[in-house]
A and B are shown apart, each in its own frame.
Chain A
């Protein structure tokens, strides 16, 4: 495995071609190799019955402990509703300047908002969310450039408005240019 490999690890049922497209986007954006792995973990222990959501803090810890050999950074991909104790929901979260991140497509799906499902939208949003969280693992904080993928997004509409790429300033900050 290439030492600069970002591992995308699936914790849910994702179609192979979907994961491959995500990996391609990550590879392209961070100029590294991207590896896809799948794991079967019982998520029930991360489930909070009171909130009927999955604890993002615990899931992030799980990804950190996976410690995949040769993996430079790892992002866990979920299709469940994530929360952290203080927030009602999250799309994903990351160790700032660390090695691990998580992202979920649960709230990225049009159907969550009473609209018709749209796979291309979903893929586009998850690409942005994955690149955003990996960006945090590189130490990037939220960017004020409106189109930068590192711009903070609290609603899907915010995600739709930005691009799937880092702005020049963010690329420079992490040494991509």
Chain B
């Protein structure tokens, strides 16, 4: 036994106390006795017991009253009521008042062992549950949201304020800025965190597939519907549904979605039973929904239904001061996962990264660092390890002519000065390329 389970025996009969005390001590439990409810309650004020085994009929305060008082002190305490005068009424009453179980004296030794074993398992489960809850609470749910810039701090403040509510949220931002991460941060900081967060990438599915994905389907609803299938709204019951790329859904789906959001009920495709689900909706898009509403391509009523709170994630180029922190984070992440020693980044490489515009935002930076760790020498990330090093034109280039010269030279070098291939890559004819080489005085 890892931890000694403690038992408090409350009975006015000395022989019962002694017998049970001996029985449980032999079984390795920590045992204490009290001869009446009053003494038991005062004992409970100074000591904790995992299990309280209490007689129902005792002079003074009876077992049921004691049970109620114990439960008012600690609703999770395990109280087993024992009595020599078993009636269904008292048993039901005891159980309704929160008793873990009820046993009639004298007990069968095996029943007693089972009862205590079950109670011990319940205690272990409760403790495990508490430990896991604490662990979930202590999880840095926004751990991937790295940054010290004012822009990201504002996002975090918004996440913090909206998370505990049930409001719908639209997250906007360019591709790769971490919209799903923000959605997850909202979910894990909400009261729904112990329930699932279900993600649907709306843009990846056709209208009919999306309908079946969101609402589920009944067997035989369409060709290939071999089984009943729960939809994402049903799966997200008590949790959160995250609809990514919401701007891509069709007008028909917008109407369906609006109806579901308003009634929180729907029918599976091919079904005739109304299903209700309690979910919170978070959407994300990289498009300007407001202008889509103005153009009439996105329903205004749905927009207002979803846009209770809008969180905008700025692109990486607008929060350059976060880049070094993000680089450190990705280096740690990938070196750890690849079982490599932690490496640093060369200052020239860092300078080049800070100048880069990152059209793919954090996703692009992450991929860049992962690649550099894979191809690098395992000690430092150098400029040559970065994919942008070859494609970027040197920042000393200041005029369009300089840019054209540098770019043509780069492509010529790439194709080993093969004129035909270079011309094809540049989408110009060979004569034009020759003229440019002559104009800029380019040499192999």
Contacts and interface: CB of A to CB of B under 8 A. Distances in A.
Contact of A88 (B15, B16, B20, B106): B106
Contacts of B18: 57
Interface in B20-61: 20, 22-23, 25-28
25 contacts: A83-B106, A84-B106, A85-B13, A85-B15, A85-B105, A86-B16, A86-B19, A86-B20, A87-B23, A87-B108, A88-B106, A88-B107, A88-B108, A88-B109, A89-B109, A90-B109, A136-B26, A141-B26, A141-B27, A141-B28, A142-B27, A152-B113, A154-B108, A154-B110, A154-B113
B15 to A, nearest CB: 5
B1 interface: yes
Contact of A154 (B15, B105, B106, B109): B109
Given A57-B18, A57-B19, A87 B106 contact: yes
A155 interface: yes
10 A-B pairs with least C-beta separation: A154-B110, A154-B109, A84-B19, A86-B19, A85-B15, A141-B28, A86-B16, A88-B108, A142-B27, A88-B106
Interface string A83-120: 11111111001001000000000000000000000000
Contacts of A154: 108-110, 113
Given A57-B18, A96-B25, A142-B26, A87 B107 contact: yes
Interface residues of A, number: 19
Nearest to B17: A86
A86 B105 contact: yes
Contacts of B25: 96, 141
B112 interface: yes
Contacts of B22: 93, 96
B388 to A, nearest CB: 63
A152 B114 CA distance: 12
Interface of B: 1, 13, 15-16, 18-20, 22-23, 25-28, 105-110, 112-113
Nearest to A56: B19
A144 interface: yes
B15 A84 contact: yes
Given A57-B18, A152-B113, A86 B28 contact: no
Contacts of A88: 106-109
A169 B134 CA distance: 36
B26 A85 contact: no
A64 B23 CA distance: 18
Contacts of A142: 26-28
Contacts of A93: 22
Interface string A33-56: 000000000000000000100000
Given A86-B20, A144-B1, A96 B26 contact: yes
A154 B113 CA distance: 8
Given A86-B106, A88-B109, A152-B26, 18 more contacts: A51-B106, A57-B18, A84-B15, A84-B106, A85-B106, A86-B16, A86-B105, A86-B107, A88-B108, A89-B108, A96-B25, A96-B26, A136-B26, A141-B25, A141-B28, A142-B27, A154-B109, A154-B113
